[in-house]
Amino acid sequence: MEIEAVEQKTLSYLKQVTNPLVPISRLLRHLRQDEALAALDERELLEFLRDHELFNVIETAGIGMELMAVDDLAAAGISMEPRVVLCTRVPTREQLGEQITSEFDSMVEALSAALTEARDEGHADRVRAIMKLLDRANALRGRLKELLQ
């Protein structure tokens, strides 16, 4: 692994992204665009980032396990993979709450659209499954709201 190239490209990328919390898979895809880093392994990248003073790796799986099963979160469109943030861009509690709420709103909107489509097409099994996901998403949103207060 070319440590200096990984460091510089990661710094540059994390400084310019809109959402400071970047899923590790997205960062890895960005880094692999450089031919010299095409073989970069996710495990190696995570080890490097965890040990680096300029980056924070946020392990979201632990958070999700307190609230809802990871499979349920994934089915609802919420990724529990680690995320990385530049230390100078760590969001405040309020900013983090706004980001999470925004992601939930997008997810509920997508599920609602899928529910309408399933009803229109007469797919009773899909309707039930989506309604179950919507119920779980709303319950999770309530728990998150409590945690963020």
Tokens, residue 22: 């970047």
At 81 the three-state DSSP class reads coil
Those residues whose C-beta lies under 8 Å from the C-beta of residue 89, and which sit 6 or more positions away, are: 14, 15, 20
Name the amino acid, one letter, at 15.
K
Sign of the torsion angle spanned by Cα atoms 42, 43, 46, 48: negative
Give the model's pLDDT for residue 62: 47
How does pLDDT run along the chain (149 residues), one tens digit per residue?
Answer: 688 999 999 999 999 998 888 999 999 999 999 999 999 999 999 999 999 999 999 886 544 444 445 555 555 555 668 889 999 888 787 877 787 788 788 888 888 999 999 999 999 999 999 999 888 888 888 887 787 77
Give the model's pLDDT for residue 60: 63
Edge-to-edge strand list for the sheet holding 22-23: 22-23, 83-86, 55-58
For 16-33, give the DSSP string.
H-SSS-EEHHHHHHHHHT
Alpha-carbon 67 to chain mean position? 15
Q: Where are the domains of the chain?
A: 1-90, 91-149
Give the model's pLDDT for residue 64: 44
What crossing angle do the helices spanning 3-16 and 24-32 adopt, rounded to 10°? Answer: 120
Give the model's pLDDT for residue 125: 93
Per residue in 112-140, is it b (16+ CB within 10 Å) or e — as a string? eebbeebeeeeeeeebeebeebbebbeeb
